[in-house]
Structure 1
Amino acid sequence: MMENIINESPFVPSPVIPTSYDGSKVIQFRCHKEIACFNACCKNIDITLTPYDILRLKRRLDLTSGEFLLGFTEPYEMDKDSIAGVKFKPVDGGTACQFMTDEGCSVYEDRPTACRYYPVALVSMRKQNENTDTHSYALVEEAHCFGHKEDRSLTIDEYRHEQGLEDYDEQGRGWRQLILKKKSSGPTVGAPSKRSLQLFFMACYDLDRFRDFVFSDSFNEVYDLSDDLKKTLAEDEIELMQFGFRFLRQVMFSEESIAVKADAFDKRLAKKQEREAAGLISSEPAPEITPDSPYDHPECGCD
């Protein structure tokens, strides 16, 4: 049987030349304000955001993650009956980026991963039943972009360094691995449960709400976090985001890296059954979560 290779990007497909390269590939490209196509790529956007993109942008705008999600993004389903992604929401009634100005990007220092990579595409690959992923690069050539005609040559690695992508790629690796693992697992794990979809959206994209969840009584009745780890998660959003990726691998794929308290689930189940019997909570399953309404999902517990 041919080994199943997952060769997909979490980002929306682009008109990519079907040739992959490593970081030593020399490209010819430059974008600047005086170029005739300046801002053209920002006038018709289809930009998927990574969790780190959202963290950087909500900090930039001094918003909570929930406020940023509601004001500047829209969810979409990555695959049928699968986990949700988040895209930039364009201007009302149009297709342009909300952050585009005549002078260029108003959040340039914190622009998303996809914007930094253009016109290079990151292609992540993962073999079925393997825990590591590999990556290569491809070139995007669109008719509206004149940057490829500019007299400047550099390698893809040099371009990535110039665009500050080493940090973005490192911080986004755990998220990409979750997506690739779900794609490569296919029917062996089935469709994610409603609870898993809720947890995935919250842990990846709604970081402020995830922090509240991690410090809730329901979470701490189940998971055994050290005081040092709790302090780190309370003070460092990047560490909290990475902890979220670990938590999702444990919940969705049973890859345990977070200690669980002895008899925690038995105690929780008994407590839940007592509350159901007393009529304090419903025994009905959680409402269905769809990509059209993940911002309104109910509180996620460990029941």
Structure 2
Amino acid sequence: MAFARYLTPAPEHSGLGLQCLGVGWQQIKRIQFDGRVLDCYGLMMVVRGGGWFAWGDLPRKRVPLRAPAVFVVFPGVYHAYQPDPTGWSERWVLFNGAAARTHEVLGTLERDAAVTLLQGSPDGMERIFDKLFAAADSGSPHRDVLTSSLVHRLLAELLAGKGTKDLAPFVRHFDERATDSVSIGEHARRLGMDEPTLRREMLRATGTTPKDYILRTRINVAKRLLLTTDRTVADISRRVGYSDAAYFTRLFTRRVGQAPHHFRKVHNPVGGPLSRKSVEQEPR
């Protein structure tokens, strides 16, 4: 039993970031499969049964699989797989695009860790696959747009299913303490680790370095204060951890593309910020 649909998006669809090239499902038992190399990405979800997956250069990594599990194949990388004698049931999607490469940079797709044993229920990913099958088979004039959107959702669901709750303390710490005027070393000390370990864990948790995450969080807080209070730019600068308002303005302008006062004018043209009291009571 099997279902498969293959798509050829138009050049205009490259702007969507991801292009779905094919989607389907199949139930297979032991097969004679010597491996292959694709020119696109592939995501295969084993929903029942088990087996093994191997990929990369010699000596190849070979990982046992037991449902629910996902394995990802990468363009230009050899891969092979084999179900157990009792077989497995899989759902699959082929895709490409700039957003897929960005997901590699951010750690959603990892060439060194191509297999994910899903934590918790796989129902979310299965529902997205069901929608992918329907979109690819529907005859909709917007088929390529719909399938692109669903591949985005599938990758987000994969990231959520990786079981990264252990990373939450790092993200929470910087969400809450990013405006503290302390060094990265002090942040590491507060978290009970050295700086290289903190950098590695933050990259795994957020796709960026502690320094950059602090900057982005400070700018996020500054945006909220600009639009919900009548504080001056200098006051907001101090509030988010910069004693030099001119330096803060340069940082803000470089990241946002607008100076703080212009951002306030464009996004809150009628004025009327929330009361300072109500804003101060909100969590950071």
Give the TM bin, normalised by the shorter chain: under 0.3
Name the TM-score, length of structure 1 as normaliser. 0.24
Higher-Rg structure is: 2
Return the structure number with greater relative CO, CA threshold 8 A, min gap 6: 1
